[in-house]
Amino acid sequence: MRKLLILLIRFYQRFLSPLKPPAYRCRYYPSCSQYTIEALNRFGVARGTILGIARLLSCHPWSQGAVDQVPDAWPGWKGVFRHKRGF
Protein backbone atom coordinates (compact mmCIF):
# COMPACT_ATOMS: atom_id res chain seq x y z
CA MET A 1 0.00 0.00 0.00
CA ARG A 2 2.85 2.38 0.88
CA LYS A 3 4.50 1.78 -2.49
CA LEU A 4 1.22 2.44 -4.30
CA LEU A 5 0.70 5.75 -2.48
CA ILE A 6 4.27 6.81 -3.24
CA LEU A 7 3.80 5.85 -6.90
CA LEU A 8 0.67 8.03 -7.09
CA ILE A 9 2.49 10.95 -5.47
CA ARG A 10 5.43 10.55 -7.89
CA PHE A 11 2.95 10.61 -10.80
CA TYR A 12 1.52 13.85 -9.41
CA GLN A 13 5.02 15.34 -8.99
CA ARG A 14 6.10 14.41 -12.50
CA PHE A 15 3.00 15.11 -14.58
CA LEU A 16 0.48 17.26 -12.71
CA SER A 17 2.49 19.56 -10.45
CA PRO A 18 4.43 21.19 -13.33
CA LEU A 19 1.11 22.30 -14.85
CA LYS A 20 0.31 24.52 -11.86
CA PRO A 21 1.15 28.23 -12.16
CA PRO A 22 3.97 29.40 -9.84
CA ALA A 23 1.52 31.20 -7.54
CA TYR A 24 -0.06 27.84 -6.67
CA ARG A 25 3.11 25.91 -5.88
CA CYS A 26 3.85 24.67 -2.37
CA ARG A 27 4.85 27.32 0.17
CA TYR A 28 6.78 24.85 2.29
CA TYR A 29 10.15 23.17 1.98
CA PRO A 30 10.25 20.31 1.28
CA SER A 31 7.19 20.42 -0.94
CA CYS A 32 3.99 18.93 0.46
CA SER A 33 4.26 15.91 -1.84
CA GLN A 34 7.90 15.23 -0.92
CA TYR A 35 7.06 15.69 2.78
CA THR A 36 4.30 13.08 2.45
CA ILE A 37 6.64 10.59 0.76
CA GLU A 38 9.18 11.04 3.56
CA ALA A 39 6.44 10.68 6.19
CA LEU A 40 5.15 7.48 4.55
CA ASN A 41 8.65 6.01 4.51
CA ARG A 42 9.38 7.00 8.11
CA PHE A 43 6.03 6.28 9.82
CA GLY A 44 4.14 3.90 7.53
CA VAL A 45 0.83 4.32 5.72
CA ALA A 46 -1.51 5.41 8.54
CA ARG A 47 0.68 7.92 10.34
CA GLY A 48 2.45 9.07 7.18
CA THR A 49 -0.89 9.81 5.51
CA ILE A 50 -2.08 11.73 8.58
CA LEU A 51 1.07 13.87 8.58
CA GLY A 52 0.71 14.48 4.83
CA ILE A 53 -2.93 15.53 5.17
CA ALA A 54 -2.09 17.84 8.09
CA ARG A 55 0.62 19.43 5.96
CA LEU A 56 -1.77 19.94 3.03
CA LEU A 57 -4.38 21.50 5.32
CA SER A 58 -1.84 24.03 6.56
CA CYS A 59 -1.06 25.19 3.02
CA HIS A 60 -3.40 28.04 2.10
CA PRO A 61 -3.14 31.59 0.68
CA TRP A 62 -2.63 33.12 4.15
CA SER A 63 0.16 30.73 5.10
CA GLN A 64 3.65 32.19 5.20
CA GLY A 65 5.20 28.82 4.45
CA ALA A 66 8.13 27.37 6.33
CA VAL A 67 11.02 25.00 6.31
CA ASP A 68 9.27 22.03 7.87
CA GLN A 69 11.01 18.67 7.86
CA VAL A 70 9.31 15.40 8.76
CA PRO A 71 9.80 14.86 12.51
CA ASP A 72 12.24 12.17 13.64
CA ALA A 73 9.68 10.72 16.06
CA TRP A 74 5.88 10.57 15.90
CA PRO A 75 4.76 13.98 17.27
CA GLY A 76 1.55 12.68 18.84
CA TRP A 77 -1.90 13.88 17.89
CA LYS A 78 -1.42 17.40 19.28
CA GLY A 79 1.89 17.75 17.45
CA VAL A 80 0.42 16.73 14.09
CA PHE A 81 -1.67 19.88 13.82
CA ARG A 82 0.82 22.25 15.44
CA HIS A 83 1.03 25.85 14.29
CA LYS A 84 3.47 26.26 11.40
CA ARG A 85 5.99 29.07 11.71
CA GLY A 86 7.31 31.25 8.90
CA PHE A 87 10.81 31.13 7.42
Per-residue pLDDT reduced to its tens digit, 13-64: 999 999 988 877 778 899 999 999 999 999 999 999 999 999 998 887 788 8
Domain range annotation of the chain:
2-18+25-80
pLDDT at position 84 = 54
Angle at 66 between CA 64 and CA 67, to 5 degrees: 165
pLDDT at position 12 = 96
2-11 helix and 32-57 helix, angle to the nearest 10 degrees: 100
Residue 80 pLDDT > 90: no
pLDDT at position 86 = 46
Q: How many CA atoms lie within 13 A of 28 on its CB side?
A: 22
pLDDT at position 63 = 80
Question: Which DSSP letter does residue 58 get?
Answer: T
Least confident of 27-31, 61-65, 66-70, 79-83: 79-83
Pair 68, 28: CB distance under 8 Å: yes
Enumerate residues 6+ apart whose C-beta is below 8 A from 9: 33, 36, 37
Read off the pTM.
0.87
